[in-house]
Copies of this chain bind each other. A is one copy, B any other.
Amino acid sequence: MGYSGEKLQEEKVFKDPVHRYIHVRDRVIWDLIGTKEFQRLRRIKQLGTTYLTFHGAEHSRLSHSLGVYEIVRRIVDDVFEGRPEWKPEERLLSLCAALLHDLGHGPFSHSFEKVFDLDHEQFTQQIIVGDTEVNKILLKVGRDFPKKVAEVIAKTYKGKLVVSLISSQIDADRMDYLQRDAYFTGVSYGHFDMERLLRVMRPREEHAVIKQSGMHAVEDYIMSRYQMYWQVYFHPVTRSAEVILTKILHRAKHLYESGYEFAQEPHHFYSLFKGEVTLADYLKMDEAVMLYYFEAWEEENDAILKDLCTRFVNRKLFKYVEFHPSNSQMNRLMELRTLFKKAGIDPDYYLVVDSSSDLPYDFYRPGEEEERLPIHLLKNNGEIRELSRESEIVDAISGKRRTDHKLYYPSDLLRDESTKKNIKKQIRKLLELSD
């Protein structure tokens, strides 16, 4: 079978706190794990700034990627193998796509992509088809293999079943991150019976379906997901760190554009500032590099950059109040902006509305911005039904978007009464702070 079928002499394992062990038998997978592009994921945290809220959340995207691979391996080898709807020739493709699906993530992805208008999925594609160690290994499997792997990750691959394993509302990606993020943060949410879910998954042409008898396990999974979003992913303290991070990057870009002379020159950022980032530039960016700059910029002359970096590095975060984008609150926001300016605090950097929004589950709405692949149940009589038609619980929350807005500000600056005492008092009043 050549390289694509080559097995290691002895199975290798990685100890993993979530799945006990990650098992590797395929030479291709072993070699991919050893590439520098994959190893780079060690320097990118799975949960970005969340470690500033939950001190255990230091785990890397590398460990998540291994976990997704392991789940797909178990689905394919322990559950799908031998079933007529499963094409064994898509096994290695599924494993590689699972392992590599997050390869293009940048440091603190969320803010990073927003500020520099980047898309990590595009970089994942570039790494897979570009001139990289990963590409060289995939090419050894077959000429068009890198392209196929890239297509699976981009959801354009024709074999929709394979796509659904890593991109649907119940895929290996989510199953790993919910459990992993719960484990490392230490929260009580995020648990569901994955063993059972895997046991009742069945391959169909268009997607993996879940046997009816596993419906309660699916409900539990969806509730876990819901809880993790609001308890962990949208935690207001994490978002405060994210707000500051975004403002740091904005400020640095702004300074660069206005010809400011950096004490610590932002070599790694120039191509980002110019919007001309190459794959090589991009791959040099990771969280160690980013933190290096932020630490250095604690000594810049620009007061705003210096202050924001100091806040981020030393976790002196913004405080927040609830905010609802009603007319009256929007007016109050405008008023606050004016007062901030009077107080000498730039509201563009120090008064920030941040919104989080989540849809715990949705049935299929064709043509919408982001089409979400729904979950299908396989009934005993062979019929296939979309989940929310069978589960009252899921129906009750299906399609219900929940949004949360918060207004972030530096309470320490506002409490410093050495200057502009009265204006700050007014601000604090408007923010409903006690005096």
Partner-B contacts on A (CB < 8 A): 13-18, 20-21, 34-36, 39-40, 42-43, 45, 51, 54-56, 58-60, 62-63, 66, 183-189, 191-193, 195-196, 199, 216-217, 219-220, 223, 226-227, 230-231, 284, 286-289, 291-292, 295, 313-316, 392-393, 396-397, 400, 402
Does B291 contact A186, Cβ atoms closer than 8 Å?
no
Residue from the list B20, B45, B199 in contact with A186, Cβ < 8 A: B20
Complex interface: chain B residues within 8 A of A392 (CB): 397, 400, 402
Residues of B within 8 A of A191 (CB): 188, 191
Q: In whole angstroms, what is the CA distance A291 to B289 when docked?
A: 8
Contact A15 B54 (CB under 8 A): yes
Q: Are B20 and A220 in contact (CB under 8 A)?
A: no
Closest chain-B Cβ to A70's Cβ sits at a distance in Å of: 12
Among B15, B39, B289, point to the contact of A185 (Cβ < 8 A).
Answer: B15
* Contact A184 to B315, CB < 8 A, known contacts A220-B223, A223-B223: no
- CB-CB < 8 A to A36: which residues of B? 313-314
Would you mind naming 9 contact pairs between A and B with Cβ atoms under 8 Å apart?
A15-B186, A16-B186, A17-B186, A21-B195, A56-B63, A188-B195, A287-B288, A392-B400, A393-B397
In angstroms, Cα B57 to Cα A60, docked, is: 10
Q: Taking the full assembly, how many copies of this chain does it contain?
A: 4
Q: Which of A17, A34, A191 has the most CB of B within 10 A?
A: A17
Q: CA of A402 to CA of B215 in the docked complex: distance in angstroms?
A: 15
Q: A43-B291, A183-B17, A195-B20 are in contact. Are A393 and B226 (CB under 8 A)?
A: yes
Interface of chain A: mostly helix, strand, loop or mixed: helix
Chain B residues in 8 Å Cβ range of A16: 55-56, 186
Set of chain B residues within 8 Å of A188, measured between Cβ atoms: 191-193, 195-196, 217, 220
A312 to B199, CA, bound (A): 30
Besides A56-B59, A187-B193, A188-B191, 14 new A-B residue pairs in contact (Cβ under 8 A), listed by A number: A17-B56, A34-B316, A43-B291, A55-B66, A56-B184, A184-B184, A189-B193, A189-B220, A191-B191, A286-B295, A288-B288, A288-B292, A291-B292, A392-B402
- In the complex, residue of chain B having the shortest beta-carbon distance to the beta carbon of A232: B15
Would B55 and A63 count as touching, CB distance under 8 A? yes
Q: Which 5 A-B pairs have the closest CB atoms?
A: A396-B396, A17-B186, A188-B193, A288-B291, A292-B292
Taken together as a complex, chains A and B put the C-alpha atoms of A392 and B189 apart, in Å, by 18
B62 and A60 contacting across the interface, CB-CB below 8 Å? no
A400: nearest chain-B partner, CB-CB: B392
Inter-chain CA distance A290–B59, complex, in Å, is 19
Cα-based distance from A143 to B346 in the complex (angstroms) = 40
What's the Cα separation between A286 and B21 when bound, in Å? 31
Kindly state the separation between the CA atoms of A393 and B39 in the bound complex, as whole angstroms: 38
Shortest A191–chain B CB gap in Å is 6
B187-A15 in contact (CB<8A): yes
- Please report the C-alpha to C-alpha distance between residue A20 and residue B21 in the assembled complex, in whole angstroms: 16
Instruction: Considering the complex, give the chain B residue whose CB is closest to the CB of A223.
Output: B223
- How far is it, in angstroms, between the C-alpha of A195 and the C-alpha of B22 when the chains are bound? 12
Are the CB atoms of A55 and B14 closer together than 8 Å?
Answer: yes
A252 to B393, CA, bound (A): 42
Q: Is the CB of B226 within 8 A of A39?
A: no
Among A15, A217, A392, A397, which residue has the most Cβ atoms of chain B within 10 A?
A15
A187 proximity list for chain B (CB < 8 A): 15, 193
CA distance in complex: A295, B40 (Å):
11
Q: In the complex, A311 Cα to B433 Cα: how many Å?
A: 53
If A15-B54, A20-B186, A393-B396 touch, does A315 touch B230 (CB 8 Å cutoff)?
A: no
